[in-house]
Structure 1
Amino acid sequence: MKLTTRIFGEIDIEDSKIIEFPKGIIGFPDMTQFALMHDKDKDTNNIRWLQSLDDPVFAMPVMDPLYVKPDFNPVVPEENIKDILPLEDEDLLVLVTVTVPQDITKMTVNLKGPIIINSGNCKACQIIIDDDDYPVKYPIYDYLQKQKELAQG
């Protein structure tokens, strides 16, 4: 599938790389097909993009929640992920959306609404975690800066 996107320009997505969200994502129930992208030019594996194939203008920055909150381990009832089952541990990929406002120091991730991807069957869903330990706006800028400093030695 060829697609002209706002962020990546013209791209070619293999059918095997298409991730289906049977019920769409929160706020966008009609968007059901996505591809997970990363920007090779930026040379960072931390932030990737969930690129909509239904609306090429729409892409959300996402990242692994364990990178910014190593103890992220919410309890998720099987009922919440029934549309993407069966799910083996090795096929589980959890991502959270990243919000980057104009003031980059206020960058946050949404720990309350993670995206669960089953890489085995290329199905995914976004769920709501019913736990106050996981806020919608979890600040990450200071943590990312510390990680960057540690990496630079």
Structure 2
Amino acid sequence: MKLITRIFGAIEIEDDKIITFPKGIIGFPDMTLFALMHDKDKDSNAIRWLQSLDDPVFAMPVMDPLYVKPDFNPGVSEEVIQDLLPMADEDMLVLVTVTVPQDLTKMTVNLKGPIIINSDSRVAAQVIIDDDDYPVKYPIYDYLQKQKEQAGK
């Protein structure tokens, strides 16, 4: 599949890289086809992009929640991820959306609505975590700065 995107320009996505969200994502139920991309020009793979194949202008920054919250381990019922089953533990990829405002010090991730991808079947779902320990706006700027400093040592 070929498309022209806002962030990555003209790209070609191979069929085996397409991720299907049968129920869409929160706020965008009609967007069901995505590809997981990373910016080769950036020196960090911490932030990747879920690029919509339904609307090439739409791409959402995402990251592994363990990168900023090492104890992230919410309970999710099988009922919520029914479309992804069967799924082996090693095939589960969990991502959270990143909000990057103009003031980078206010950067957050949404721990309340993680995205779970079955990397074997390439089927995904965004779920809502019913746990107050996981906020919608979890600040990450200071944590990312510490990670950057430690990597530089």
TM-score class normalised by the smaller sequence: over 0.9
Residues 1:67 and 2:67 aligned together: yes
Runs of 4+ deviating beyond 3 Å: none
Cα distance, 1:72 vs structure 2: 0.1
Structure 2 unaligned residues grouped into runs of 5+: none
Residues 1:3 and 2:3 aligned together: yes
Q: How many residues align?
A: 153
Residues 1:19 and 2:19 aligned together: yes
Cα distance, 1:112 vs structure 2: 0.2
Written as runs of structure 1 = structure 2, the 5 A alignment for 1:87-98 is 87-98=87-98
| One-letter amino acid of the counterpart of residue 50, structure 2 | L
Q: Give 1:44's aligned residue.
A: 44
- Percent same amino acid among aligned pairs? 83
TM-score if structure 2 supplies the norm length?
0.99
Cα distance, 1:84 vs structure 2: 1.2
Secondary structure of the structure 1 residue equivalent to 2:54: coil
Q: Give 2:77's aligned residue.
A: 77
Q: Work out the CA distance in 1 between the residues paired with 2:41 and 2:79.
A: 39
Q: Give 1:35's aligned residue.
A: 35
As a proportion of its length, which structure holds more helix? 1
Q: Work out the CA distance in 1 between the residues paired with 2:54 and 2:68.
A: 30
| One-letter amino acid of the counterpart of residue 145, structure 1 | Q
Q: Work out the CA distance in 2 between the residues paired with 1:142 and 1:55.
A: 33
Written as runs of structure 1 = structure 2, the 5 A alignment for 1:138-153 is 138-153=138-153
Residues 1:130 and 2:130 aligned together: yes
Cα distance, 1:43 vs structure 2: 2.0
Q: Work out the CA distance in 1 between the residues paired with 2:3 and 2:70.
A: 35
* Structure 1 residues 29-79: Cα deviation after superposition (integer angstroms, max 9, x where no partner): 000000000000012110000000000000000000000000000000000
Q: Work out the CA distance in 1 between the residues paired with 2:69 and 2:56.
A: 30
